[in-house]
Amino acid sequence: MNYQEIISKQVTAVPRSGIRDFFELVIGRDDVISLGVGEPDFSTPWNVREAAIYSLEKGNTTYTSNLGLLSLRQAIAGYVKDFFAVDYDPSNEVLITVGVSEAIDLALRALLNPGDEVIYHAPCYVSYSPSVVMAYGKAVEVSTRKEDGFALTPEAVQAAITERSKVLMLNFPTNPTGAVCTKEQLEGIAKIAVENNLIVLTDEIYSELRYDDEKHVSIASLPGMRERTVLLHGFSKAFAMTGFRLGYSCAPRALTEAMMKIHQYSMLCAPITSQAAALEALENPITMERVEEMRLDYKRRRDFVVRRLNEMGLECHSPGGAFYVFPDISKYGLTSKEFAMRLLEEENVAAVPGDAFGEGGEGFLRCCYATAFDLLEQAMDKMEAFVKRL
């Protein structure tokens, strides 16, 4: 059988995730310190795990409404109103999904006709461009720059606009750079979105994990934006709930309905046990205390890693959020892949080559600092020894 001819062209067109490819190499090696996969090293807060167990004990093992449990949608609408200052109707503007990953896919499939252009900033999360391609869209990459702290400027967005531009994807704080945008930058971008009738998908998954003194601003809260924005958020990162696979979208009713149709036929609903856990996460104030403790711990780790990297000569801005640093390794004359491979082989430290996050990531390395402090100390010592030899 010639499977190449059988498999869909859209699927053939997208590469495998560079992160996964790199980590296949890590599996099977002993004593590797991993600064690789972007997930919290904390367990989910105990009250949340207990709520999941209790839900199972009670025998709650059924489907839920396609949109998700109404009680959870109400809790999400309340949380989003307090945290992002945007009001959504839980009865028809909130959709509970299997992670933000599913929500990204639903939003793109609900919006795109073949050939519609989606502007996104890169380096960015690995799924954006493939998700656009698999939804028959055209992915238009706008490179952000180290000199701007990898923030997106309104000018860069403006330069990418064409007649086919339909969607703008944003992610602040950003995976892999930790970048944040100022309110002024977001206002400039919002103005362009309104002028060009763009729909904005804003992936706010790291929004609680900010370390500067600025309050997090969502573009959805800016004047004229609610009606053209799909706000995506979830429980994986700040709540340390990656394995629960729970996210959500908030969007005007017609967009939510369109996304729900795809979700209804492809996923039916998010798992009820995870929904019970998420409800506890939002309803019990103890959870936010745990989230704050984790945030402070990440901040301490960020400060340490940024200082050590800069001291050893790996220039690196201090990211405003998320749990990644993105040092510049270009001066050593190695590609990102070569650098990461040698670091792994010679020092047993795993970090992701920057080019996994788009062309603009070449010359950089993504190090995730959601790793225990003593391991970070060891990893920094090993990286220092490595760069001294280069």
Residues within the interface to ligand PLP (CB under 6 A): 38, 99-101, 125, 171, 175, 203, 205, 234, 236, 242, 247
Which one, 100 or 349, has the nearer CB to ligand PLP?
A: 100
Query: Is the Cβ of residue 190 or residue 241 nearer to ligand PLP in the bound state?
Result: 241
Q: Is 388 exposed, middle or buried (0-12, 13-18, 19+ CB in 10 A)?
A: exposed
Amino acid at 384: E
Alpha-carbon distance of 208 to 35, in angstroms, equals 21
Q: For residues 340 and 42, what is the distance between their CA atoms, to the nearest angstrom?
A: 25
| DSSP assigned state of 69 | -
CB of 200 to ligand PLP, least distance (A): 15
171 or 287: whose CB is closer to ligand PLP? 171
Nearer to ligand PLP, 99 or 149 (CB): 99
User: Measured from the CB atom, is 141 or 347 closer to ligand PLP?
Assistant: 141
Q: How far is the CB of 203 from ligand PLP (least distance, A)?
A: 5
Considering the complex, what minimum distance in angstroms separates the CB of residue 106 from ligand PLP? 12
Nearest CB to ligand PLP, comparing residues 298 and 387: 298
Give which of 296, 335, 316, 295 is closest to 380, Cα–Cα.
Answer: 316
* Residue 88 or 357 with smaller CB distance to ligand PLP: 357
Q: How far is the CB of 4 from ligand PLP (least distance, A)?
A: 29
Q: 76 pairs with which residues across the strands?
A: none
Q: How far is the CB of 14 from ligand PLP (least distance, A)?
A: 16
Cβ-proximal residues to 357 (8 Å cutoff; 6+ apart), any chain: 18, 122, 123, 124, 125, 126, 175, 176, 366
What are the two backbone dihedrals, phi and then psi, of residue 216, each rounded to the nearest 5 degrees? -65, 130
Q: How far is the CB of 206 from ligand PLP (least distance, A)?
A: 7
Strand 324-325: give its sheet, edge to edge.
324-325, 365-368, 352-353
Q: Angle at which helices 253-266 and 99-111 pack, to 10 degrees?
A: 110
Among residues 44 and 175, whose Cβ is nearest to ligand PLP? 175
* Pairwise CA distance, residues 360 & 131, whole Å: 19
Annotate 89-108 with DSSP letters as a single string: -TTTSEEEESHHHHHHHHHH
Compute the least distance from the CB of residue 105 to ligand PLP, in Å: 10
Backbone angles phi, psi at 215, to 5 degrees: -80, 140
What's the min distance (Å) between Cβ of 359 and ligand PLP? 18
Nearer to ligand PLP, 98 or 387 (CB): 98
DSSP string, 262-278: HHHHHT-S--HHHHHHH
> What Cα–Cα distance (Å) separates residue 10 from each residue in 138, 153, 235?
11, 31, 30
Compute the least distance from the CB of residue 195 to ligand PLP, in Å.
26
- Contact status, residue 107 vs residue 263, Cβ threshold 8 Å: no
| Minimum separation from the CB atom of position 205 to ligand PLP (A) | 5
Place of tokens 């936010």: 288
CA atoms of 103 and 234, how far apart (whole Å): 10
Which 8-state DSSP code applies to residue 121? E
- Alpha-carbon span 132 to 117, nearest angstrom: 9
Residue 75 or 209: the one with the smaller Cβ distance to ligand PLP is 209
Closest-approach residue to ligand PLP (CB) = 99
